[in-house]
Amino acid sequence: MLKPNSNEYHKTRLTGKELALILFGKKKCPQCGLKMRRNDIKEHYDKGNVFIGEGSNGTTFLNVDKFEVKIAYRCSNCDKRFTLSELTSLSKETR
């Protein structure tokens, strides 16, 4: 997804389980059980041109900063951050 007016391209990779956790899961801290707040991790991995769209309907954006976004949640009580994939594997273990 290219954010308009910001020259930042954000890429997120999600498994089906991770998507289900975002939509339906309870984002509770694995350590203390309190509700966590969304706190994504943004990693810059490249800078260059990004082509958005298809064929002649597409546009090339030049010199775009590319970020890989890892969805994560932060517990204000423990001050710890857990990525979505960590939370997904943790919830598997407790069941």
Residues of this chain that bind Zn ion (CB under 5 A): 29, 31-32, 75, 77-78
Which helix or strand (DSSP H or E) is residue 58 part of? none
| Residue closest to Zn ion, measured at CB | 29
Least Å distance between CB 26 and Zn ion? 13
Distances (CA, A) of 42 to 33, 38, 48, 91: 25, 13, 17, 24
Which helix or strand (DSSP H or E) is residue 94 part of? none
CB nearer to Zn ion: give 29 or 50. 29
User: Residue with structure tokens 């999600």?
Assistant: 14
Least Å distance between CB 78 and Zn ion? 3
CB nearer to Zn ion: give 1 or 32. 32
Which helix or strand (DSSP H or E) is residue 93 part of? helix 84-93
Least Å distance between CB 13 and Zn ion? 26
CB nearer to Zn ion: give 31 or 60. 31
